[in-house]
A and B are shown apart, each in its own frame.
Chain A
Amino acid sequence: MTELTSLTLAEARDRLRNKDITAVELASAHVDAVAKARALNAFVLETPEQALAMAKASDARIAKGEAGPLEGIPLAIKDLFATQGVRTTACSKILGDFVPAYESTVSSQLWRDGAVLLGKTNNDEFAMGSSNETSHFGAVQSPWRREGSNTPLVPGGSSGGSAAAVAAQLCLGATATDTGGSIRQPAAFTGTVGIKPTYGRCSRWGIVAFASSLDQAGPITKTVRDAAIMLRSMAGPDAKDTTCADLPVPDYEASVGKSVKGLRIGIPKEYRLDGMPSEIEKMWTQGCEWLKAAGAELVDVSLPHTKYALPAYYIVAPAEASSNLARYDGVRYGLRVPGRDITDMYEKTRAEGFGAEVRRRVMIGTYVLSAGYYDAYYLRAQKVRTLIKRDFEQCFAAGVHAMLTPATPSASFGVGEKGGSDPVEMYLNDVFTVTVNMAGLPGIAVPAGTDAQGLPLGLQLIGRPFDEETLFALGSAIEREAGHFVARPWW
């Protein structure tokens, strides 16, 4: 049955349509793979019975000729998405055994289109982290290891469970969310494809909020085509989220493999960092050459406010988080630690329920919004954000269709290796990705090569607002040259 798990989403879809395989066979193969891969800790909840029941229903619809676009496709859902009747915790102790009475808009659209739920994937607690080490359920191990080494590596974060599950062929795709790089960085670390669409492309309704003005859902998949297929189902208007764009969803798959001839690709000089590994530099140059060979035109561009993006992000995101996480107070649901009085109960519950990184960000966020500091921090960060956005707008207005950058400043690192004494060391992982969230733009991470130790590296393409189609065209051009990267199972 291993053959079934090595299919891409598009291949599985076509085989199901042709009735070469059944949805139940496909689901069973993945359910088994999930069960055998517990060493990865990619899933925090497996739903094998639900998977088989949904697959059976899919087979019935396929038989009746009523198959949806994702009919019978086994997917994993990041634990940040509320799933009706299925425990949803954001991988935080504070949510305890919270079982939502509602389904997030994004996941409900996947089920509407026939997808099958395999389970909930691990993530950094409340999506705060870049290595999936802050999860209340423990760290996720990457399916990748350095050549000749048994050192456990991180899959990246915060969507580490989703990325690891896709990379280890435990599912055909997974939902993820990206606030500062949480889709693209783990995709780059695991040799998978991850797209963060334009802010407002996917509804945020039913997704546990981290930083509302930055959070955006997207898929992590094995291929660019798979990402295009999955995003089409995930995206779309939603009256329940007023920040969600009221725009029709194009057929993204049609852009995959489309010619990139004549597209102008900006190469931002500010992304060339001092001390960046030569392998990253090399991969970037290689990516440029591939696109040039495919007929794209490369132009040097400048995004002068890039260097302020990370500090500004670590003001805006914690500020919003400090407020978004206020609802976890022990009063209505989740963890409650009894106290002498209401204040004592709040303090005990939140001290015990939130992990160290979440507490740190809640405190940073509370500080930067405080009277006397608001103007110096929050207001200033918002001004920086406007400037970052303007940098991009000016390039796009000058005729640039998309930009090419590395996705991360390094390959994956060892579990416990970074951020122990200095959290900023971990925050620097997002240096290439946060700008995109700050500007609300779409960004895709596509695997482009490996480092000397055999670990995957990814390139990032940044697009114009709501122009995910160009990213899929460019992403598939890179994918065609770079090929696919599959981890050798050690689990």
Chain B
Amino acid sequence: MNVQSKPSKFIKGATGDWEVVIGMEVHAQVSSKSKLFSGASTAFGGAPNSHVSLVDAAMPGMLPVINGECVNQAVRTGLGLNAQINLRSVFDRKNYFYPDLPQGYQISQYKQPVVGEGVVVVDLAEGEAVSIGIERLHLEQDAGKSVHDRHPQMSAVDLNRSGVALMEIVSKPDLRSSEEAKAFLAKLRSIMRYLGTCDGNMEEGSLRADVNVSVRKPGEPLGTRCEIKNVNSLRFIGQAIEHEARRQIEIIEDGGVIVQETRLFDPNKGETRSMRSKEEAHDYRYFPDPDLLPLELTAEAVAELKAKLPELPDEKKARFVRDFGLSSYDAGQLVAERETAEYFETVAKGRDAKLAANWVINELFGRLNKEGKAIASSPMSAGQLGGLIELISDKTISGKIAKDLFEILWTEGGDARALVESRGMAQVTDLGAIGAIVDDLIAQNPDKVAQAKANPKAMMWFVGQAMKSSGGKASPQAVNDLLKSKLGV
């Protein structure tokens, strides 16, 4: 894919503009009940070494058996990334010694991954969209965890994660800013959560990324890259890229050269530091795992998985724009999370969709954010919010009262229409009742009447007062019309 340079993304250096080129390797834990090659549970948070089979502990004579569900999850993900599914792929051994790697090798896919090239469309804040190429997706085993704080001299090893299935998704070097990199990862996360193939939980380590960063003068060939390992939040990815790009620009502008190396991001200092150089890189001695036959898929099985894919964010967004008349930006916000989109659709069903979108995006999102809640734990159901939307649409309540009603529904719960009735919150459109209020105001405030007649804008004082006297229930439109005729303005 030939990505166009975007001057707006350039970084200013002492010698002029620099373009940052980013590629990512995303490690996503496959959502599955059991591990990639053993029947042990993948549940998070078990007591150390409580989810370990004989295979995971690499006991002598143990053999891996591929978990078909993990393969299906990888294929689903590949389909969600609009990628080539390879009907024949091969598991290799990546050999290295580490205490939390019991076999002494990781089973991974090296030369023949299960998923080949694909493309992901990433929406950016300015309403701009970029297509990011996917190089490949392959399946591999996770390692265990070394624990260093249990004993002064010894380390402990927890093998619960050992053998859990990971998908490594490799992008092409198509990203041009930290914003794009963050948006790309967020989009991958969104797609996988829609598919149910990865829970995307970055705190628990279900999703993490290695980021390859290089810089160049616009139009020049690619520079030497550095790989930043295991960055585990969107914010840190942004920081790591910003810092790394600046670091590389400074070195080059000072007459130095970039050394290809692996670097670590230190979230406390907000900077990257060297981990190992290219020369120190492991020789992993990859070779096909003789314990496993090549993974063969049939075109029919892939087609069946494809037919059963859920609607993905891009399709859903297009449908929201098309069917509900939402702006692309609003639709994008609503589809980012599958749960949000489902919530919105329930609210919007048979109601004013644009109004529903406004309330979900402004009021609901605002309140959830403020309280740090996810949509799944929203105290207000989609049905409740839908009831509120209906009351606005049929002019039973005004926008102002609706906000009060929202507050009540959020804190106390209940049914929107029943609350409006029991608490007398309905909008007063009865001209008789409003007329009495207006007549009263005119009689008692001759000076304001004079002002209003001289300057119609001063009529707003009467509108305000009338609304106040009605406890906000008077229809602002009815008040307006009545005042105009009574004052003759």
Given contacts A323-B95, A323-B285, A326-B95, contact A332 B102 (CB under 8 A): yes
Name the CB-closest residue of B to A207. B61
Contact A102 B54 (CB under 8 A): yes
- Given A240-B65, A242-B65, A342-B99, the answer on whether A327 and B290 have CB atoms closer than 8 Å is no
In terms of DSSP, what is the predominant structure of the interface of chain B? loop
Beta-carbon contact of A100 and B102 below 8 Å = no
Q: How many residues of B contact A (CB 8 A)?
A: 29
Q: Within 8 Å of chain B (Cβ to Cβ): is A443?
A: no
- Nearest CB to that of A200 among chain B residues? B293
Collect the chain B residues with CB atoms within 8 Å of residue A325's CB. Answer: 104
Q: Which residue of B lies closest to A330 (CB)?
A: B99
Residues of chain B contacted by A343 (CB below 8 angstroms): 97
> Shortest CB–CB separation between residue A335 and chain B, in angstroms?
13
A374 at the interface (CB under 8 A from B): yes
Closest chain-A Cβ to B44's Cβ sits at a distance in Å of 23
What's the least CB distance linking A179 to chain B, in Å? Answer: 12
A95, A207, A323, A329: residue with the most chain B Cβ atoms closer than 10 Å: A323
B283, closest chain A residue (CB): A371
In angstroms, Cα B104 to Cα A327, docked, is 5
* Chain B residues near A260 (CB-CB < 8 A): none
In the complex, chain B residues whose CB is within 8 Å of the CB of A207: 61
Query: Is A101's beta carbon under 8 Å from chain B?
Result: yes
List B contacts of A243 (CB < 8 A). 63, 290-293
Task: Check if B410 is an interface residue, CB within 8 A of chain A.
Answer: no
Across the interface, do A366 and B285 meet the contact criterion of CB distance under 8 Å? yes
Known: A242-B65, A326-B95, A327-B102. A211 touches B58 (CB 8 A): no
Distance (whole angstroms) from the CB of A45 to the closest CB of chain B:
16
Count, A-B residue pairs, CB within 8 A: 99
* Main secondary structure on A side of the interface with B: loop
Q: Name which residue of chain A comes closest to B94, CB basis.
A: A323
Shortest CB-to-CB span from B143 to chain A, Å, is 13
Asked if A100 and B66 sit within 8 Å, CB to CB, the answer is no
Nearest CB of A to B66, in Å: 7
Which B residues are in CB contact (< 8 Å) with A212?
290-291
Say whether, besides A211-B290, A323-B287, A331-B102, A369 and B95 are in contact (CB < 8 Å). Answer: yes
Task: Check if A204 sits within 8 Å of B285, measured CB to CB.
Answer: no
Given A100-B59, A243-B293, A369-B95, A326–B104 Cβ distance below 8 Å? yes
Pick the contact of B63 from A240, A319, A331, A370 — CB < 8 Å?
A240
Say whether A102 contacts B285, CB under 8 Å. no
Whether A205 contacts B63 by the Cβ 8 Å rule is yes
Within 8 A of A (CB), among B126-157: 155, 157
On whether the beta carbons of B290 and A104 are closer than 8 Å, the reply is: no
Instruction: Indicate if B189 sits at the interface (CB-CB under 8 A).
Output: no
Distance between B99 CB and nearest chain A CB, rounded to angstroms: 5
User: How many Å from the CB of B146 to the closest CB on chain A?
Assistant: 9
Residues of B within 8 A of A308 (CB): none
In the assembled complex, the Cα of A82 lies from the Cα of B59 at a distance in Å of: 10
Complexed CA–CA distance, A102 and B283 (Å): 34
CB 8 Å contact bits of A109-122 with B (1 = contact, 0 = none)? 00000000000000
Interface status of B391 (Cβ within 8 A of chain A)? no
CA of A333 to CA of B60 in the docked complex: distance in angstroms?
Answer: 10
CB-based contact A242/B63 at 8 Å: yes
Q: Which residue of B lies closest to A325 (CB)?
A: B104
Q: What residues of chain B lie closer than 8 Å to A319, measured between beta carbons?
A: 287
Q: Which of B58, B65, B291 contacts A327 (CB 8 A)?
A: B58
Report yes or no: B99 in contact with A370, Cβ–Cβ below 8 A. Answer: no
Q: Is the Cβ of B285 less than 8 Å from the Cβ of A329?
A: no
Q: Within residues 281 to 302 of chain B, which ones have a CB less than 8 A from any CB in chain A?
A: 283, 285-287, 290-293
Q: Does A8 contact B (CB under 8 A)?
A: no
Are B63 and A102 within 8 A (Cβ)?
A: no
Do the beta carbons of A323 and B99 come within 8 Å of each other?
no
Contact (Cβ within 8 A) A346 B97: yes
CB pair A95–B60 under 8 Å, yes or no, is yes
When the two chains form the complex, which single residue of B95, B157, B292 contacts A331, counting CB atoms closer than 8 Å?
B157
Shortest A392–chain B CB gap in Å is 20
Q: CB distance A209 to B61 under 8 Å?
A: yes
In the complex, the answer to whether A82 meets B65 with C-beta atoms within 8 Å is: no
Instruction: Decide: A98 and B63 in contact? CB cutoff 8 A.
Output: no
A384 to B242, CA, bound (A): 51
Q: Is the CB of B290 within 8 A of A82?
A: no
A108, chain B: closest CB distance, angstroms:
12
Tell me, yes or no, whether B93 is within 8 Å of chain A by CB.
Answer: yes
A468 at the interface (CB under 8 A from B): no
Which of A100, A241, A322 makes the CB contact (< 8 A) with B60?
Answer: A100
B60, A370: Cβ atoms closer than 8 Å: no
A102 touches B59 (CB 8 A): yes
- Chain A residues with Cβ below 8 Å from B155 are 342
Q: Are A323 and B293 touching (Cβ within 8 A)?
A: no
B478, CB-defined interface residue at 8 Å = no
Whether B63 contacts A332 by the Cβ 8 Å rule is no
Inter-subunit contact A329/B104 (CB<8 Å): yes
Q: Is A208's beta carbon under 8 Å from chain B? A: yes
Given contacts A323-B287, A326-B103, A346-B97, contact A333 B59 (CB under 8 A): yes
Which residues of chain B are near A327, meaning CB under 8 Å?
58, 60, 102-104
Q: Mark B98-115, 1 if CB is under 8 A from A, else 0.
A: 010011110000000000
Are A369 and B287 CB-contacts (below 8 A) given A243-B293, A323-B95?
yes
Chain A residues, Cβ within 8 Å of B97:
326, 329, 343, 346
Contact between B61 and A206, CB atoms less than 8 A apart: yes
- Within 161-201 of B, Cβ neighbours of A (below 8 Å) are at none
Enumerate chain A residues within 8 angstroms of B285, measured Cβ to Cβ. 322-323, 366, 369-371, 374
CB distance from A91 to the nearest CB of B (A): 12
User: When chains A and B are docked, how far (Å) is the Cα of A331 from the Cα of B105?
Assistant: 14
A313-349 vs B, CB cutoff 8 Å, 1 = contact: the mask equals: 0000001101101110101110000000011001000
Say if the beta carbon of A58 comes within 8 Å of chain B.
no
- Contact B60 A204, beta carbon cutoff 8 Å: no
- Whether A370 contacts B290 by the Cβ 8 Å rule is no
Q: Which residues of A contact B487 (CB under 8 A)?
A: none
Known contacts A88-B60, A242-B292, A342-B155, then 12 further A-B pairs from the complex at CB < 8 Å, ordered by chain A residue: A98-B60, A100-B59, A102-B59, A206-B62, A208-B61, A323-B285, A329-B99, A332-B57, A332-B102, A342-B99, A369-B285, A371-B283
Between-chain CB contacts (< 8 Å), 15 pairs: A82-B61, A205-B63, A206-B62, A208-B60, A211-B290, A241-B63, A242-B63, A242-B292, A327-B58, A327-B102, A331-B157, A366-B285, A370-B283, A374-B285, A374-B287
- B-contacting residues of A (Cβ < 8 Å)? 81-82, 88, 90, 95, 98, 100-102, 104, 204-209, 211-213, 239-243, 319-320, 322-323, 325-327, 329, 331-333, 342-343, 346, 366, 369-371, 374, 378
Which 9 A-B residue pairs are closest in the complex by CB-CB distance?
A326-B104, A213-B290, A369-B285, A212-B290, A327-B58, A206-B61, A208-B60, A371-B283, A207-B61
